[in-house]
Structure formats: structure tokens, C-alpha cells
Structure 1
Amino acid sequence: MPTDTAHVRTGLHPVLATRAARTAAGWVAAFSLALGLLAAVPAALVLGASPAQADQAEEVILEDGAGVIHEPTLREGLTDIDFREPTTVVVWTQRGEAESNLNERLLADARENHPEWISDDGQKWTDGLFIYAIDPEGRLQGVYFGEDRKVGLETQEDIREDAVESLQEANWTQAALDATESAAAVMNRPWYQHPGVWIGGAIVVVVGGIFGGAVAAGRKKQRQKAQAELDRGNQAFANVSTDLEATELNAHTVPEDSKYGAMVLERYRTFHERYVEAARQNDRLSGIPAKKLHRKEHRQAITAYMKQAEELDQLDDTVGSTNTLLNKYPGWPEAWDIQTAPMREDLGQIDELVTGQPKLKADQLTPLRSFRHEAERELERLGAGLETGQLSPDEALDGLDALRVRLTGLLDDYAKAQIDAFATSDAERQTLQGELERERHRGSRRPGSILDTVHQPGWFWTATAFHLGYSSGQSHVVTAREQAEASSSSSSTGYGSSGGSFSGAGSSSSF
């Protein structure tokens, strides 16, 4: 099949598009439901969750066999669309007949020309993929998803519905943008952002005559985000610069014969080189005109600079608290409080973690509850031992490390119990485990924490990371169940006789 193929790499930035309710009654019912559910959302999740991270598309692939897509307009429009996770976007067109199976035709073309779109086992669309397909002759459209991007059938129908108006006007390029924008808003959506929980404020913008304004608005948001990250990086860099002399003096007096002192100094060994590089980036990035901050190369450099500067800011805090605590200089009790703060935060969230778990047995909840009281007593003992001199700082840190390792083990056991109680298949177990592990390793280091500094990310479980990971996993599982349970739809979900056992997420319908 001859196609005109273009592989386009684009940077995509934040646009949140939400769908207005189709009827006034729908608005009222959904709003009432949102209020009720939001009231039940755990405080730690609502208050502790950070805003969704906006990611750029990894790649945009145009396979325009029908010759109906205007590539420059497609590329320009995609700069306004943002994804929660890096996503490969495919826009695929082919002319056919209304009676044909668009799903089957797309799969056949993918198997022959784009095997990279299909998972290694040949049964699903590959992870990180979104495909929008159009047959302008047969008046068919379809949406298809990698296994880690899939949404329920009703949501797929909503995505296609958002493109119908443009399709009926034969505005094929705009239809592709409409469908992609709609899909980006719901793929990997946290459960608490589901329309059953809240109804979004911004109504999808009608693109057409105001398309140029939408592009400008998208770039403005990109510039604003880049400027905010640059400001954060500059603030962190200023903190490091202000404390630079004190940090160097602290590093010179950290006792090298201390196990923890030696490990912190090893992390500090490249501090000067990283600071010099951050200073160079500070000079260069601060000189970029504000109107150019939306450019991809500048945004990437700014994000990297911000992360580097904040890591340096955290490390110099740790060097200071290490020196003060290990030498028991004046102020060492406050330095010890900094070390115990992560543990105390975790202990304070245990009751919330084990409350409202009707599917779990008492003996699966008791270990965490018991540990909380035991750990609180142990923290008091460690602090008192430091105060009286019965414990050295290294011994106290060993005791604290042991507590955090024990909590990590208990949370591992608790995760297994929750997964066994909730999951109904190996696939669901893998989804829950994957989200838990991702949040565990995503957890940030606390400024000044010696243990967080000397261990790799993910070494310790935190209660917050556990809660967010399990909630995210549940959301993915619920979405998959909705798709599996949807038994009636006007859309086509099968891949025809030639599809074999292929069961990738996706569906098509006429317009």
C-alpha cells in the first residue's frame, strides 16, 4: 500500500481540555457526585499530590495513505497538546469502504510496515502508543492505545465523538487534532480527576478561525512554565551560592572516620564541579530572551538546570546537618530532628493506610499498627541516647536506618496483601506492582536527610509514595475492567478474522 510517510518529532506542552456535560441534567448529577466523592478523598492525597507532570510526545508519525492530512497544520496544532506520560502519536489514514473493518486494516498495515507498533508478544499495541485512524472514503474513524495508555470503551467513544464535527466538515487534520487532544486529557488520568469525581472547568476550545490564537496561548504557557522552572533553579542556585563558603567549611570538618560522614563526603566529592556547571548554565539561561523560552532546547536545558541546582541545594543542607550532628556542635538536636522527620511523617500516616480495608484480615493490618507504637518508642530512645552520650551519632543513625528498613519491609508485605485482595488476574497484579514501584523510586530526597542522601532513590518506602502508587494502580485496573466489562457499543472492537488473538485496546465507528 503506497503511503506518504513523515516522521515528525515535536515538543508538546500543557493544555488541559475537558468535555462539557451533554445535558443540563448531566451537569447537575455529575457535579453532585463530584462533591460527594471529593469529600471522601484522603486528605494526604488531595493535599500531598503534586500537579500532573506534563510530558512531550516522544514521536509523531504521520502515515497518510489517503492523502488528506495537512502536515504543517498538524504539527503546529500538536504543539498545544500535552500528555501525562511521554507518548508516541500516530495519525493513520487509508481509503476503504464503510463495510470494511478499520481495526483489521490498521492491524494488517502495522504488522506489515510497522511491527514496532505492536508489543513483543504480538497481542497488544506497544506501550506508550496512541493511534488515530481515519477512512475518509468509508467514513470510519478509530482510536487505539498502547497497553499502558488504554481507556474504557465509553471513553474511547467520547474521544471519537469529539472529532465528529470536524470529520463531517471534511476537516481531516482538525479531526486528528481534536481526537488527540481529547485522548491526551484522559490517558493515565489519576482516578480523582475522573469525570465521575469532578467535572473539569475549561470547555474544549473550538478550533478553527481562532487556531492561531490557540497556538499563541500554548506557547505562552510553555514560556510561563519555563520561566517558573528557571526562577526555581535560580533560587536554588542563589541559596547554594550564599552558603557556598559555609558548605566548604562544613565539608572540611565532617569526620571521615564516621561511616555516615564518609558516605556524605563521597556524595559531596563532585559538588564543586557540578556547582561550576550550574553557574555556567545560570549565566547562559538567564540571558535567553523571554520570548524564546518556549523553544524545546531551552525548556529542556532549563529543566535540567533546575534539577541540578535543587540537588545541590539539598546536598549542601545535608553536609551542614551531617557536620553538626556527627560532631555534636551547638544545634545538633535540630539536626537530629531533621533526620527523624521522614520517619515521623510516615508513622503519622499509618492509621490512614490501614483504615477502611474491609477485604484485609486483622492480622494483615496489625503489623503496621504495632510498628507505629514501637517505632515511636524507639525514636525516643535514640534521641535520649544521643542526649546522654550513651549512643554515638553513627549508632543513632544506624538505629534510625533500621527503623526505616523495617517499615519498608512491612509496606512491601502490606502491598502484597492489598494486591492479592484487589487484583483478579496476573495482569492486574502486574499493573498494581508496577505503579507502586514507580512511585517508590520517584520519591524525592528530604533536604538535610543523611539517610536519604547516602541511599539510592527507592531504598526506603514512604507512606506518601505507597499511597499514591497504590491509588494510581487501582485507577489503571478500574479503567481496564470498565473496558473489559463494556459489552454493548455501536463501535467495532474486534480485529477481524485476520487479527487472530490480537486484543489491543481500541475501537472504531462511523461518522
Structure 2
Amino acid sequence: MPTDTDYVRSGLRDVLATMAAFGLALGLLAAVPAALVMGASPAQADQAEEVILEDGAGVIHEPTLREGLTDIDFREPTTVVVWTQRGEAESNLNERLLADARENHPEWISDDGQKWTDGLFIYAIDPEGRLQGVYFGEDRKVGLETQEDIREDAVESLTEANWTQAALDATESAAAVMNRPWYQHPGVWIGGAIVVVVGGIFGGAVAAGRKKQQQKAQAELDRGNQAFANVSTDLEATELNAHTVPEGSKYGAMVLERYRTFHERYVETARQNDRLSGIPAKKLHRKEHRRAITAYLKQAEELDQLDDTVGSTNTLLNKYPGWPEAWDIQTAPMREDLRQIDELVTGQPKLTADQLTPLRSFRPEAERELERLGAGLETGQISPDEALDGLDSLRVRLTGLLDDYAKAQIDAFATSDAERQTLQGELERERHRASRRPGSILDTVHQPGWFWTATAFHLGYSSGQSHVVTAREQAEASASSSSTGYGSSGGSFSGAGSSSSF
């Protein structure tokens, strides 16, 4: 007599057989459009039959437009109209275009006065009201979702005020879908592809995710191993350097305090290196291993940076041979920041001269001070500690200036408390995650985020600005919808087309 297990096994075989047959059937279904495409004759490629420019807004560069249109292929001869007019966001672009066509271009309208004439594609822009629209002859019309896709393809150029390129972008997008054979429509492929994909999507997604996690973990492990190898190679030299760092120096004492637990941390990192190196690559995706690898990488890189700093400290404070190079390592972060100041303050039309001048004037002043400190070290007029004090003072001043500059930029860009919080949050996040420069005494003795760096400022503000812009676009998208009607003056006109804001 069959057992419960036999019934289960039999049922499982039936399910698997049904799934296999279903997948095969739908796979064959998916192959039908492919066979049609392979057997179909190549589509006729035509350039625009006629190009009409009605640039009431005066924003289109006609030679560029006409040259660009020669590179766009249409499936059937098509008249392309690019129409611009300045108006207001609250106005109906569809209605204004129709009124102009009725008065000045009756040939754009069908004989019965109800549609756009056959063979016609119109792209309209209102740069003042920030509106765009696409319109089609009855034999070229596409669905509303496709019209929205066409307009979306032009948005990037529109937001950059590149009106001519926007017209080319929209026209190229429209040419790709007008009179498209049914078997080339994405929907035909979706039905057949869904089942073919569903059969393996779960396993494929799991495998892909696992492989990605393995690759990331392996990359971090490799970085950690390299940093640990550097520390191990320099271990004896680092210990010797630490023994001769002058404890009477303020900065020497602070570096030695950071070094106090170096040996214990090195031993622990060596244990982690041994354990992690024994994990098979195929198991690196596991959460516990990934966490351990990330912690190992952080510890190994911190040790690698610290041993560089111990070497620089010993050489600079004792003015051993090679001390100028050690001093260059200390000033490198400051010089890097100074080189980026011009980029930070360029192209900020919303900020006043009073807000920009402090950073601009700080650069030449700081460069002169760096030269003075270096010369004083060379002649012995100032001690290494005094030189580091001067460098610390410069970096603290720059941090204060960047704080003020951040507040000015936030006030100029943000339009709400939520936007201000977003910008401030991203700036602070980048400030505290900024990596310490290897060998930098000041970066070592101060806590993360003590100094602002130009790089961290730029990354933080760019990230915050991007988040704010995305939030604004989403809000605008939810608040606005496309317009398909032709207004009260349109009467019974029902030509294919629609418009929306950008």
C-alpha cells in the first residue's frame, strides 16, 4: 500500500511535470514573435518628408535642428513640425497650438476639422511656462502612455534649456514608435517572456545576489589582506619609530597614545586574517562572514594608516633625513583642499560676494602661510610642533569657513525645513566618514569629522542636493498630470496628442 511519502513524491512529480509542460508551451508562445521578426522584411527607413519650424519663442537653432533630423529614420514619410511659443504654466498648450494651427496652418488639420492631418508629427515647447506637447496625425497616433514616454525622453534636455536637442530627442523617440509593427511592440514579448523568466527568476535572483555578495566580500577581504600585509612588512620599522618619537612633543605624545594599543590590535587582526583566509570563497556571502570581513578591513586599514603616521611623526619631530617629505605629507591635505576652493565657489549665482569672498581670499593667505611654515622649519626658526600648530590653525579656519559656506548654500537652495535637514544630514554624514590621510599626524590625533575637507563638503552637498531635486521631481510628478483636451475653444477637435509640464 502506498505510504504518505509515496503520495507526496507522486504529487511533487505531477507538479513538476505540469510546470515543465506549461513552461514549454509558453516558451513556444514566446518564440512566435521572434520567428515573425526574423522572417519579416526590413522596415522602410525614411527621413522627415518635410521639416516646419514655427519658433515663436526664438529658442531653436534651425541649422542644428535640420541637421539632427537627417539622422532620424521614420517608418513612413512624416512631416515634422517644431512649434514654440512663450506662455504661462497655467495656460493650455494644446489649445494654443490648435488656435495657431487654425489661424496660420490649416494644412495641419484634417479636412473635417476634427483631427491632425495624416502624416504629421508636432512637437511643441513653451520655455516660459515650462510645458511641452506631442501631437500626431491620425495615421501616426500612439497611446497616451507612449506619448508620456516620448515627452519623458526630452525632459533632460529641457531642464538644461537645450531646446533644440529636446526637439530632436522627442522626435527620435516618436519616430521609433509611430507605425511600429505589432510584433515589435514590447507587450508582445512580455507575455511570452514572463513565463520563461518566472521559471528561473527566483533561483537566478538568489544566485545573482549571492554572487554579488561573494564578490563584494572577496574584494573587501583582498583589501584587508593587502593592508595587513603592509603592516606586517613594516612592523619592525614601526616599533623602532615608536621608540624614538619624542614624548616631550605635544603631537608626539598624542600619536604615541594612539599607538599604545597597536600591538594588541595587530595580534587580533592577525587572528582574523588566519580565520577569514580559511573560509571557502563560496561561503563568503554569509552574513556573519561579511560582517567579520568588514570589521577586519576597517581594523587593518586603521593600523596601516597608523604605522605610516608613526613613521612620519618620528621623522618630522626629530628632523631626521627625509623630514621635508614628512612635512609634505602633513600639508598635503591642506593643499588639496585649497586647490578645490575655486571649484567650490564657481557658478554660485544665488550667493552674494560677501558669502563667496571669505573662501576665495583664504586660499592665497593660506598658501603664503604654508610657505612661511615650511621655510621656518627649514631654517630652524620654528619647531616641528609650532609648524603643526600653524597647520592645525589653518585647517580649523578652513573648517569654520566651510561651515559658514554650507549654511549659505543651504539657505540659498532649500525651500523648506525638510530640504534643509536633508542637505545638513548629507553634509554631516560625509564630513564624519571622510577618510584620514595616511601619515597625517593631525588626522590621526583628532576625531573623525574634526576637520572639514573640500572633498567631503563637495560630496555631501552634491548628495544632499541630488536627494532634494529627486524629492521635488517626485512631488511635481504627483501634483501635475498631462493634458489631453484642447480647451473651451477647441470645440469637438479630438486630434491625438497631449502636453505636460517639465
Deviations 1:67-90 (A, max 9, x none): 999999999999999999999999
Equivalent residue number for residue 275 of structure 2: 284
How far 1:213 sits from its partner (Å)? Answer: 2.8
Gaps of 5+ in 2: none
Deviates more, 1:34-43 or 1:410-419: 34-43
Distance change (3 Å), C-alpha of 1:489 and 1:281 = same
Q: What is the rounded CA distance, in whole Å, between the counterparts of 2:390 and 2:91 in structure 1? A: 68
Deviates more, 1:193-202 or 1:362-371: 193-202
Q: Is the 8 A contact 1:338 1:448 kept in 2?
A: yes
Residue 432 (1) aligns with residue 423 (2)? yes
Q: Is the 8 A contact 1:443 1:458 kept in 2?
A: yes
Deviations 1:167-224 (A, max 9, x none): 9999999999999999999999999999999999999995543432332222122111
Distance change (3 Å), C-alpha of 1:414 and 1:177 = closer
Deviates more, 1:286-295 or 1:168-177: 168-177
Deviates more, 1:31-40 or 1:308-317: 31-40
Distance change (3 Å), C-alpha of 1:66 and 1:415 = closer
Q: What is the rounded CA distance, in whole Å, between the counterparts of 2:82 and 2:64 in structure 1? A: 13
Q: Is the 8 A contact 1:10 1:79 kept in 2?
A: no
Query: What secondary structure is seen at the aligned counterpart in 2 of 1:434?
Result: helix
Q: Is the 8 A contact 1:13 1:80 kept in 2?
A: no
TM-score when normalising by structure 2: 0.58
Distance change (3 Å), C-alpha of 1:3 and 1:30 = closer
Deviates more, 1:391-400 or 1:41-50: 41-50
Q: What is the rounded CA distance, in whole Å, between the counterparts of 1:199 and 1:153 in structure 2? A: 19
Equivalent residue number for residue 24 of structure 1: none
Distance change (3 Å), C-alpha of 1:80 and 1:112 = same
Q: What is the rounded CA distance, in whole Å, between the counterparts of 1:339 and 1:321 in structure 2? A: 9
Deviates more, 1:191-200 or 1:35-44: 35-44
How far 1:482 sits from its partner (Å)? Answer: 2.0
Query: What secondary structure is seen at the aligned counterpart in 2 of 1:205?
Result: helix
Distance change (3 Å), C-alpha of 1:214 and 1:270 = same
Deviations 1:469-493 (A, max 9, x none): 1111111211222233335578999
Q: What is the rounded CA distance, in whole Å, between the counterparts of 1:86 and 1:278 in structure 2? A: 71
Q: Cα RMSD (Å) of the superposition?
A: 22.1
How far 1:424 sits from its partner (Å)? Answer: 1.4
Deviations 1:278-316 (A, max 9, x none): 000011000111111111111110111011001000000
Deviates more, 1:429-438 or 1:205-214: 205-214
Q: Is the 8 A contact 2:47 2:69 kept in 1?
A: no
Q: Is the 8 A contact 1:15 1:80 kept in 2?
A: no
Q: Is the 8 A contact 2:26 2:192 kept in 1?
A: no
Q: Is the 8 A contact 1:34 1:199 kept in 2?
A: no
Q: Is the 8 A contact 1:8 1:61 kept in 2?
A: no
Q: Is the 8 A contact 2:134 2:498 kept in 1?
A: yes
Query: What secondary structure is seen at the aligned counterpart in 1 of 2:83?
Result: strand
Distance change (3 Å), C-alpha of 1:165 and 1:353 = closer
Structure ranking higher on relative contact order (CA contacts 8 Å, 6+ apart): 1
Distance change (3 Å), C-alpha of 1:491 and 1:365 = closer
Distance change (3 Å), C-alpha of 1:510 and 1:341 = closer
Equivalent residue number for residue 152 of structure 2: 161
Query: What secondary structure is seen at the aligned counterpart in 2 of 1:379?
Result: helix
Higher helix residue share: 2
Query: What secondary structure is seen at the aligned counterpart in 1 of 2:124?
Result: strand
Q: What is the rounded CA distance, in whole Å, between the counterparts of 1:131 and 1:4 in structure 2? A: 69
Q: What is the rounded CA distance, in whole Å, between the counterparts of 2:12 and 2:79 in structure 1? A: 11
Query: What secondary structure is seen at the aligned counterpart in 2 of 1:119?
Result: coil
Distance change (3 Å), C-alpha of 1:138 and 1:343 = closer
Distance change (3 Å), C-alpha of 1:173 and 1:412 = closer
Structure 1: 4+ residue segments shifted above 6 A: 1-18, 28-205, 489-511
Distance change (3 Å), C-alpha of 1:88 and 1:265 = farther
Distance change (3 Å), C-alpha of 1:301 and 1:489 = same
Q: Is the 8 A contact 1:3 1:65 kept in 2?
A: no
How far 1:137 sits from its partner (Å)? Answer: 46
Q: What is the rounded CA distance, in whole Å, between the counterparts of 2:4 and 2:159 in structure 1? A: 24
How far 1:139 sits from its partner (Å)? Answer: 35
Deviates more, 1:279-288 or 1:468-477: 468-477
Q: Once the two structures are aligned, what percentage of the paired residues are identical?
A: 96
Number of residues of Structure 1 aligned to a counterpart in Structure 2: 502
Q: Is the 8 A contact 1:17 1:185 kept in 2?
A: no
Deviations 1:209-241 (A, max 9, x none): 343233222212211111111111111111101
Distance change (3 Å), C-alpha of 1:208 and 1:191 = closer
Distance change (3 Å), C-alpha of 1:435 and 1:510 = closer
Q: Is the 8 A contact 1:11 1:57 kept in 2?
A: no
Deviates more, 1:191-200 or 1:203-212: 191-200
How far 1:159 sits from its partner (Å)? Answer: 19
Query: What secondary structure is seen at the aligned counterpart in 2 of 1:207?
Result: helix
